[in-house]
Amino acid sequence: MISFRRTIRGRLLFLAIAVELLMLTILVANSLRLLHGAMTTQARLQAGQMYPVLKAALTAPMAQRDYATVQAVINESRAAGGVDYITIVDTSGNRAASNGWPQERPLPAQSVNLPLFKWEKSPRYDVVLPITYLGQPLGTLHFGLNLSQIMVARRSLLIQGASIAAIELLLSTIILIFLVYWITRHLTALTEASIQVASGNLPPPLVPEGEDDVGKLGAAFNTMSRAISDRVRDLHEQAELLQQEVDERRKAQELLLEQQLQLEALNLDLEQRVADEVLKNREKDQALLQSEKMASIGQLAAGVAHEINNPMGFISSNLRTLAEYFSQIVRFDQVVQENLGSAAQEIITRSRESLEIDYVLNDGTDLINESLGGAKRVTKIVLDLKNFSRLDALEYESVLLSSCMESALTICFNELKYLATIRKEFDPSPEVLCHPGQLNQVFLNLLVNAGHAITVPPGEIVLRCWHDAPFVYASVSDSGSGIPEEIKNRIFEPFFTTKDVGKGTGLGLSLSYEIIKRHQGELLVESRVGRGTTFTVRLPCSTP
């Protein structure tokens, strides 16, 4: 059911009542305004008529300060009626005479207008006027006019006006209800018929017809509903035929779509497999190429180390023999110096000074010791090269991570020494079971990356090894530019690199990650932009 206030008749009725109520309100308000103005004017006129009389009667006694006569005059004036109180205040502010107003209460101020909605039991109009004689002030006259009769008349007028307005509003409402109902008498039937048409119940019941506008609307609706009923019946017949054809086409399309989806799924699966295989092959090829390169480098390093090791062997042996010979010559010289005669001593001394034999003996010892130290360094480099070149070792070995880091550092030290200072912090740690050549490759990649990260030499690279059971840790820290957070998760992806073209292939960290993973370890990274990066290798300790 539609709410009454939402129907046309309801809205027309509410609108008419609202207009009627607005007009009555304006009429009553305007009547009150005019009445209030007339009452205020009447009170001012009455006060203006009383003031000259009271002033004439009080001027002489006030001038002579005959307050007894003043009191008699105001008593007689108030007894005449129409006045609530009369009070005389002298020039000093004291009450000279008073009638009808308590002595302890302050006198009211001059009234400006009569109150419109202030209903008092004893309404009055307060007047404050001066009393003068020949321009000299004698005091002030205060009196209040009683407005009870005026207020009673105003109340009666308000009650009668409100009653007339209510009766007029009630009669107007009744007339408007009948008028609105008569105008819209056919709308209910027309609405119900429209709902029947909307719900598909055709043809709907006929609505009343007539000669007025609403009746003609009903006739037009009846004609329209019959036409719609005929059209709908034709459409239903055509729709049934069309539905059969649509069903057949839909079945064919569903079959074709199913076959197409299967084919697309097969194509996508095949493309994904091909892409996966291509990626795996590329990774394998790159890893194999990298391994072959490292193996070739290892073989070359092993060959060079072997070729260098042979001559260094007899060089070191000859230097040691030469050191022994030279020490014997020094001892022989001491013996000769101790056993020569005075004549031969003088000749030999001159010869020793001219030939600087003492300097030669001392410097020769230093030269031999320095050559032996250099030979030991060359031997150590050769040994590190041989250790680093063990890429073809198939069996696991127990080694120290610090020795692997030392071997890798020996290989790339010539590149790093111009970029950074190297600091080592190797704590005592147990051995790990690993392929040393593969770990050498990991640490070489980390050291080369650390050198590339230092863009403003001189920087610092710190190598650390420590033990925290059951793992052994090795880290490479640099003071370079750091890794931005947005690419930190991609650095171990194959072929991902931020280096310039020709400086990197994007496989170093990827291969290192896979090598550490095959060793059942983990490669961790910590980095802060502008502060540097730390790569940490964590491997399990060797077990029997």
CATH number (domain holding residue 141): 3.30.450
pLDDT for 2: 45
Q: Any bridge partners for residue 128, and if so which?
A: 142
Q: Could you identify the residue written with the tokens 């419109």? A: 116
Q: Is residue 495 part of a domain?
A: yes
Final residue in a domain of this structure, among 151, 181, 211: 181
Q: Is 181 helix (H, G, I), strand (E, B) or coil?
A: helix
The token pair that represents 293 in the structure block: 């390169």
Q: Which of 216, 188, 193 is closest to 206 using CA atoms? A: 193
Q: Is residue 212 part of a domain?
A: no
Whether the bond between 311 and the residue before it is cis, its omega within 30 degrees of 0, is no
Number of domains in the chain: 2
Q: Is 339 helix (H, G, I), strand (E, B) or coil?
A: helix
pLDDT for 424: 92
CA gap 485, 490 in Å, rounded: 10
Q: Could you identify the residue written with the tokens 């931005």? A: 484
Distances (CA, A) of 435 to 252, 291, 449: 64, 13, 22
Q: Could you identify the residue written with the tokens 């101790």? A: 338
Burial of 472 (0-12, 13-18, 19+ CB in 10 A): buried
Sequence-separated contacts (24+) of 249-256 with Cβ below 8 Å: none
Q: Is residue 509 part of a domain?
A: yes
Q: Any bridge partners for residue 433, and if so which?
A: 398
Q: Is residue 197 part of a domain?
A: no
Distances (CA, A) of 89 to 57, 74, 94, 141: 15, 12, 5, 7
CA gap 295, 316 in Å, rounded: 30
CA gap 512, 504 in Å, rounded: 14
The token pair that represents 357 in the structure block: 């034999």
pLDDT for 521: 92
The token pair that represents 255 in the structure block: 């079959």
CA gap 508, 491 in Å, rounded: 10
pLDDT for 1: 39
Final residue in a domain of this structure, among 181, 207, 226: 181
- Which structural domain range is residue 521 located in? 393-544
Cα radius of gyration (the chain): 62
CA gap 168, 19 in Å, rounded: 13
3-state SS of 291-304 is HHHHHHHHHHHHHH
Whether the bond between 428 and the residue before it is cis, its omega within 30 degrees of 0, is no
Final residue in a domain of this structure, among 181, 199, 228: 181
Q: Is residue 129 part of a domain?
A: yes
CA gap 43, 114 in Å, rounded: 8
Q: Which of 495, 476, 451, 469 is closest to 285 using CA atoms? A: 495
CA gap 149, 125 in Å, rounded: 13
Q: Is residue 67 part of a domain?
A: yes
CA gap 427, 464 in Å, rounded: 8
Give, for all 544 residues of the chain, the pLDDT tens digit: 345 556 666 777 777 778 878 887 888 777 777 777 777 777 777 777 787 888 888 888 888 888 888 888 888 888 877 788 888 888 888 888 888 888 888 888 887 766 555 555 557 788 888 888 888 888 888 888 877 777 777 777 778 877 887 887 788 778 777 776 666 666 666 677 677 667 666 666 676 666 666 666 667 767 777 777 777 778 888 888 888 888 888 888 888 888 888 888 888 888 888 887 777 777 666 655 555 555 555 555 555 665 566 666 667 776 777 777 777 777 777 767 766 666 667 777 777 677 777 777 777 777 777 777 777 666 666 665 555 555 444 567 888 999 889 888 887 887 888 889 999 999 998 999 888 878 888 898 899 888 888 888 888 999 999 998 889 999 999 998 888 888 888 887 776 676 654 555 566 788 888 888 888 899 999 998 888 999 999 999 875 4
pLDDT for 465: 95
User: What CATH number is given to the structural domain containing 433?
Assistant: 3.30.565.10
Q: Which of 97, 509, 56, 53 is closest to 287 using CA atoms? A: 509
pLDDT for 472: 94
Q: How many CA atoms lie within 13 A of 278 on its CB side?
A: 6
pLDDT for 478: 93
End-to-end Cα distance, the chain: 91
CA gap 509, 441 in Å, rounded: 11
Q: Which of 371, 439, 364 is closest to 406 using CA atoms? A: 439
The answer to whether 69 and 57 have CB atoms below 8 angstroms apart is no
Q: Could you identify the residue written with the tokens 């000259």? A: 52
Q: Is residue 264 part of a domain?
A: no
Q: Is residue 518 part of a domain?
A: yes
In residues, how long is the chain? Answer: 544
